[in-house]
Amino acid sequence: MSADSTLAPLTPPVSRLPSVGTTIFTVMSALAAEKNAVNLGQGFPDFDCDPRIVDAVTNAMRAGHNQYPPMAGVPRLRQAIADKIATVYGHRYSWESEITVTAGATQGILTAILCAVHPGDEVIVLEPCYDSYLPAIELAGATAVPVTLEAPEFRVPFDRLAAAITPRTRMILINTPHNPTGTIWRAADMDKLAQLLAGTDILLLSDEVYEHMVYDGQPHASVSRHPELARRSFVVSSFGKTYHVTGWKVGYVAAPAALSAEFRKVHQFNVFTVNTPVQHGLADYMADPAPYLELSAFYQAKRDYFRAGLASTRFKLLPSEGTYFQCVDYSAISDLSEADFSMWLTREIGVAAIPVSAFYTQPRESGVVRFCYAKKEETLALALERLAKL
């Protein structure tokens, strides 16, 4: 029996994410490739990781670590994660009941939201924000309540954050160091947040994937450092960001045992578990803390080089206190919208950027675009040569 070619294709009767289309990252990367532009848009390195970590994973494969690991993750990797957090931030999580290895930070974020947020709940997000947050909240049937960080400082407006809390607020989602703006939270900010949440049962989801990229001698203000916040928090981090292996898609979530138990109920059915030899390789590699302890100095040098090169242009440099992103105000160059300016910059100047307007619940124009400086020096040098025309 042959198919009837006249039949219309089936379409799902209800879209779970009706407003989601092709991301700005896909659009800008495709345009950068078409125009042979230097791609400073999407946030990943163009240099290799440490060969030792590749050897560690290869050795794990050859040693036979190629079948399913425990659902929550390889025990010695969870032990290494718990030890790192205790050493760096002074908070001891149980590796057995409070650390879960995830298929990247994005899966960790989605799983934390799905396990704790219900239809009708509200989740406060500070925008601009990473683009996975809003779809994850929508998939949970909840409502995102945006609180805007105003350009150019992008500091947390605690008065408006407090005003956004209602009896339906289930969770607040924070991100430090902050993508896309490069700002950081400080200890005093965490204290204010703790005061705001005291006496409530509101949960906290803290995206800390850039935890080891904080500059100018500032410490990373992890939620793990703060007992009042840690007891209500899912803390998410990423080996991909820390070890320059974004394609491996491995991260972790640290949370109190009761929250972790709920997290794992969802985790076991949306990924079950994570790549076994990579977990063993990461456990071996973490025995040397130098790669993550020295990461801030490594990226600060790239930041300083890139900022020095941009200083001769008409861009206004905004602070880059953490992450590997540099935001710039281009209002002295053009009055185009952020999306149009990013496309013009890619086509005519040969350097791709990302419009910060893409990181809001509704497009919001601030005249700011974001560059990624997690690149080889020769890549940054070529980009700066082209941007010097501005």
Per residue in 41-88, pLDDT (tens digit) is 989 999 999 999 999 999 999 999 999 999 999 999 999 999 999 999
Closest CA to 41 of 354, 359, 355: 354
Is pLDDT at 23 greater than 90 in this prediction? no
Neighbours of 218 (CB within 10 A): 14
What is the number of other CB atoms lying within 10 angstroms of the CB of residue 169?
Answer: 19
In this prediction, residue 195 carries a pLDDT of: 97
Task: Answer whether 113's CB lies under 8 Å from 141's CB.
Answer: no
Q: Is 1's pLDDT higher than 80?
A: no
Provide the mean pLDDT of the chain: 96
The angle that helices 276-285 and 51-62 make with each other, rounded to 10 degrees, is 130
- Edge-to-edge strand order for the sheet containing 354-355? 316-317, 325-329, 368-372, 354-355
| Residue 2 pLDDT class (50, 70, 90 cuts) | low
Residue 20's pLDDT is what?
A: 84
Determine the pLDDT at residue 12.
65
Quote the pLDDT of residue 388.
95
In tens, the pLDDT along 181-240 reads: 999 999 999 999 999 999 999 999 999 999 999 999 999 999 999 999 999 999 999 999
Give pLDDT, residue 178: 98
CB 40 within 8 A of CB 351: yes
Write down all domains in the chain, each with its CATH number in brackets: 24-43+293-387 (3.90.1150.10), 51-288 (3.40.640.10)
- The dihedral through the CA atoms of 286, 287, 289, 295 has a sign that is negative
CA distance 211 to 53: 20
Q: pLDDT, tens digit, for every residue of 336-377?
A: 999 999 999 999 999 999 999 999 988 799 999 999 999 999
